[in-house]
Chain A
Amino acid sequence: MVAITAVASFAIPDFSFGFHLRLMRFIFIFLGYIAGFFGIGLGIFVYLCILTNLKSFGVPYMVPYAPVTNINSNGYFLEPVWRREKRADYLNTKKEKAQNHISMKWRYK
Chain B
Amino acid sequence: MTDKKIGNFEAIALILTVIVNHVVLNLPKNIIASTSSASIINVLFISIVAVLIGYLICKLLEKFPRLDILDIASFLGGKWLKIVTGVLFLGYFLFTVSVILRSFSEGLKIIFFPRSPVAAIMILFLLAVVITNKIGFQAIIRSNLFMMPIFLFSILFIFFANIGNFTIQRMLPLFGNGTFTTFFSGLSNLFAFGGFAYLYFLPPYLKEDKGLKKITFISTITSGICLLFSVATLLFLSPNSVITEEIFPLYLASRNIQFGRFFQRLDAVFLLFWIISLTAYLSISFAFATRVFQKLLNFEYTKWYASLFALLIFGFAMIPENMYQITFIEGTIYQYVVLILIFGLSLALLIFANIKYYLLEKKKGAVSIDKAPV
Contacts and interface: CB of A to CB of B under 8 A. Distances in A.
A66 B143 contact: yes
A50 B271 CA distance: 22
A38 B1 contact: no
Given A49-B139, A68-B145, A90-B1, 7 more contacts: A35-B121, A36-B112, A41-B275, A41-B276, A42-B275, A45-B280, A67-B7
Interface string A62-73: 100111100000
Given A37-B271, A41-B276, A68-B7, A48 B1 contact: no
Main secondary structure of the interface of A (DSSP, over half): helix
B131 A46 contact: yes
B268 A52 contact: no
A53 interface: yes
A42 B138 contact: no
A53 B138 contact: yes
Interface residues of A, number: 26
Contacts of A50: 135, 139
Nearest to B127: A42
Contacts of A68: 7-10, 145
Contact of A53 (B108, B135, B268): B135
Nearest to B132: A49
Contacts, number: 90
Interface in B271-314: 271-272, 275-276, 279-280, 283
A89 B7 CA distance: 13
Interface residues of B, number: 34
A42 B6 CA distance: 24
B340 interface: no
B147 interface: yes
B202 interface: no
Interface in B136-156: 136, 138-140, 142-143, 145-147
Contacts of A65: 145-146
A44 B145 contact: no
B275 A37 contact: yes
A66 B10 CA distance: 8
B48 interface: no
B1 A92 contact: yes
B1 A45 contact: no
